[in-house]
Amino acid sequence: MTEYEVPAHPARRRGSRVWILLVLVLIAGGLGYGGWRLWQTRARTEDIVAAQDTLLRRLSRQLGDAQAEIQQVQQRQADLGSNLRRNIDDVAALQSRADDAEATITRINATLQGGRGRAQLVAVEQLLLIANERAQLAHDLRGALDALTLAQERLGALAEPKLFNIRQALAGERDAVAALPQSDVEGTALTLADLIKRAPQLPQRARAPQHLPPADTNTVRADGANNGWLARGWANLREVLGAVFILRRTDKPIDRLLPVEQEGLVNQLLLLKLETARAALLSGNTSALRGAANDAQTFLIDYYRAEDPAVLAARAELDRLRTLELTPVLPDLSRSLGLLRAYLDANPR
């Protein structure tokens, strides 16, 4: 024991030990509680660290996946860009080809249109030739007018301004043909045929009777016997003259008398004149038709009953025949044809 140590009191020494033990217990409890808290904190920290590590690994994987997807998207974008550039190039090439094809089609269409138009013009030329032929050679005004009308319609369908002068000339020629008097030759020929069929039934003027009642000569003879030789001579002379001439008194107009054997001849002559008129009509001979119609008209007046309705109808038909003009003066139809040929020569394609 040193000089500085003071001997402790036993009771006090025991109290201090209790306090020390209590402090130690408290310290041990505090340390235990602190260790427990530390352990819990450490456990929670480890759990948090593990969770964070797991989250980090998950985020890392997601980040890797996202980077991979980003790379894939970038690669796809690059591929799309490359495809887009190729598509743009392809579209440009296709557009160029389309332009070339359109130009080719345009040239082909122009060629076809030109060929079709020329074919139409050649057809119009044929129609104009037909119109001239029907008018000049066959004197068929209706056929010529139909051909000119069809040619005018085809030229109008082409809608070509360069053909205006041809269309103008063609319109003038068509109007000139339409203005001409057109006779219905077929209808008139049928009417004449019916008239020829009815001609034998037309009534002729009255003919002389073949059987007359004998003259009463008894009185004359009796008077002659009573009056001497002079009276008998006069009676004989009257008898002789009566055998040659017979006088009849009538109040009616006297018609031309025909013997019965001449009736057939009259009918044949009338039929001959009507057939001549029909032949002239069908041949287009206006002068011959008018001459035959005049002859038949005169024949009807001389030998047929003027008051009969059938005879009057026949004379009216003959009067109409005398007014027909079968060969009118034709206009010139060659101007439009000449202009069309000049256009075809100037445009060979």
* 71 vs 174 pLDDT, higher one: 174
What angle is formed at CA 112 by the lines to CA 107 and CA 115, rounded to 5 degrees?
125
* 61 vs 13 pLDDT, higher one: 61
C-alpha 151/C-alpha 122 separation (Å) is 10
pLDDT in tens, 93-147: 777 777 776 766 555 555 444 556 788 888 899 999 998 888 887 777 788 889 9
Q: Which of 28-42, 50-64, 86-100, 313-327 has the highest mean pLDDT?
A: 313-327
pTM of the model: 0.43
For residue 217, report the phi and psi dihedrals to the nearest 5 degrees: -100, 0
- Confidence label for 328 from pLDDT (cuts 50, 70 and 90): confident
* 290 vs 217 pLDDT, higher one: 290
The domain limits of the chain are 106-182+332-346, 185-248+257-321
Report the half-sphere exposure of 298 (CA within 13 A, side-chain side).
7
C-alpha 217/C-alpha 321 separation (Å) is 56
Measuring CA to CA, how many Å separate 259 from each of 59, 268, 305? 147, 15, 16
Query: Angle between the 218-227 and 229-244 helix axes, to the nearest 10 degrees?
Result: 160
Q: Please give the pLDDT value at position 14.
A: 67
Query: SS3 of 204, please?
Result: strand
Query: SS3 of 304, please?
Result: strand
